[in-house]
Amino acid sequence: MSSVDLVHASDFDYSYDSGLKVRRSVQGNELDILTHIYLEESNIVIWQRELSEKLRNSVDAFLESHTTFQALMTVTPKSALSSVRKFLGDITKHELSENIAELVDMFCCLFELKRTRLRLTVLDRAMCPKFHVDKVPCRLVTTYQGVASEWLLHQTVNREKLGSGSNGKPDSASGLYKNQHDIQQLSCGDVALLKGELWEGNENAGLVHRSPTVPTDKRRLLLTLDFSH
């Protein structure tokens, strides 16, 4: 089955003002679905992947020995594996570091980057609890364990209520979206490309998203990759 066959456009019955840009989500279970980020109308592309048992065990082993953790580094496809292994240590049995290195290679290849900015974090609370857009061209996000990121379909957002436009009100009361059903959520293991405000031609159309609430006594392991110059 081709990647085109796997595309699930979110709803083509858009309810948007005529002056707004049309943006949609694309998702599928094959790696090459990620190339759809280059379509003008895509502002989030999701590779719905299943983590292998070996990788899940590697993540479990890492989290058992790291109640808190944050690594920030700039890596190239060639340096990623050794750099990540140095930070993670032998307890991971290398599956986690190998998977991260594969994503670095894929991300750099997809966007023709020589290097990427990598962040790997253990979280027990929402890092960015309010809906927002990123001032970046594009960001890769994946959650290896725990609850994953939340996002809003472009046509459901009142962008005037972002940031200071909320007048200090919580997202649920600001008028940013109409009801709770508008909130979408990634699944653990999904690899998502979030198109930001600095993608050429995507001004005022960057994906609106936020960190999820982490249940008490639970943690999540989050990886993000960004452009680095």
- The pLDDT tens digits for 90-120 are 766 689 999 999 999 999 999 999 999 999 9
How confident is the model over 158-174, as pLDDT tens digits? Answer: 999 998 888 888 888 88
Closest residue by Cα to residue 227 from 143, 151, 140, 148: 140
Computed over every residue of the chain, the mean pLDDT equals 87
How confident is the model over 139-159, as pLDDT tens digits? Answer: 999 999 999 999 999 999 999
What are the residue boundaries of the structural domains of the chain, listed by start?
A: 52-227
Closest residue by Cα to residue 139 from 66, 209, 81, 82: 209
CA distance 151 to 96: 26
Q: Is the pLDDT of residue 19 over 90?
A: no
Percent share of the chain, pLDDT over 70: 89
Q: Is the pLDDT of residue 5 over 50?
A: no
Higher local confidence (pLDDT), 139 or 9 = 139
Band the pLDDT of 34: cuts 50, 70, 90.
very high
Output phi, psi for 60, to 5 deg: -60, -45
Band the pLDDT of 11: cuts 50, 70, 90.
very low
What CATH number was assigned to the domain covering residues 52-227? Answer: 2.60.120
CA distance 3 to 194: 19
Cα–Cα distances in Å, from 19 out to 15, 50, 132, 195? 12, 39, 21, 20
Enumerate residues 6+ apart whose C-beta is below 8 A from 227.
111, 113, 116, 117, 136, 137, 138
